[in-house]
């Protein structure tokens, strides 16, 4: 399994997903829907899958002494690694954005710890839909990504709307969602941990569903 993971990064990986990491700089814009940063991450993952498909990566792996389940596990781990990398690249920009936190984001949530936690939920939803749809035959990418794109933007709209509603109904919740202060961001840690748990759960379910489907595919 370690060798297959090594192959994912050294042979199959496209440079495109890494270019989208630079878009974490969007978090520095005072008025911007920051969740879109993670949509670009999913776009990079889609283009990575497309590169693998066009280069007949799945047929190459079929020549290796690995099972279909191991193939799916390696690819899902690669997807999760790219998503974690996006989160890590966002962190320095969060610190920079906090330096002028008095300029509030009129669009929605601020770029803070709670934002990262809810972004984990967004990435988990992408994995739960995109991966099983793709591995239904191991080839389709357009329809799965279209469905996921619609889902992600619906979720972004819902999350941003809920934040405005929550602030209107419970103004004291601003400390949880809007603050850049260190003590308030420590209070946001349960949101981060809860979001990461949802991401891990959805990604695990996506792997098992994807592997079960791919094992039935006649290549």
Q: What is the pLDDT of residues 156-215, one digit of tens each?
A: 999 998 888 887 788 777 667 788 988 888 889 999 999 999 999 999 999 999 999 999
192 and 177 in contact (C-beta within 8 Å)? no
Query: What stretches in the chain show pLDDT beneath 50?
Result: none
* Rounded Cα distance, 141 and 129, in Å: 12
Does the reported pTM lie above 0.75?
yes
Helices of type H across the chain? 2-7, 16-21, 36-54, 57-62, 68-98, 113-134, 142-169, 174-177, 182-187, 189-215
The pLDDT value given to residue 165: 84
* Rounded Cα distance, 48 and 77, in Å: 13
* Rounded Cα distance, 168 and 202, in Å: 31
């Amino acid at each position: 399994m370690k060798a297959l993971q090594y192959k994912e990064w050294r042979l199959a990986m496209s440079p495109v997903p890494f270019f989208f990491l630079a878009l974490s700089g969007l978090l520095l814009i005072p008025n911007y829907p920051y969740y879109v940063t993670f949509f670009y991450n999913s776009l990079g993952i889609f283009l990575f899958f497309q590169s693998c498909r066009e280069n007949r990566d799945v047929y190459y792996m079929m020549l290796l002494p690995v099972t279909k389940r191991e193939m799916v596990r390696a690819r899902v781990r690669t997807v999760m690694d790219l998503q974690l990398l996006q989160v890590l690249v966002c962190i320095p920009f969060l610190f920079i954005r906090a330096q002028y936190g008095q300029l509030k984001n009129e669009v929605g949530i601020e770029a803070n710890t709670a934002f990262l936690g809810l972004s984990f939920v967004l990435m988990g939803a992408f994995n739960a839909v995109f991966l099983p749809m793709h591995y239904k035959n191991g080839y389709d990418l357009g329809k799965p990504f279209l469905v996921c794109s619609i889902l992600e933007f619906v979720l972004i709209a819902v999350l941003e709307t809920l934040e405005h509603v929550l602030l209107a109904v419970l103004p004291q919740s601003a400390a949880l969602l809007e603050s850049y202060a260190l003590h308030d961001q420590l209070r946001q840690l349960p949101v981060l941990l809860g979001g990461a748990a949802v991401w891990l759960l959805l990604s695990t379910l996506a792997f098992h569903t994807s592997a079960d489907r791919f094992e039935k595919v006649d290549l």
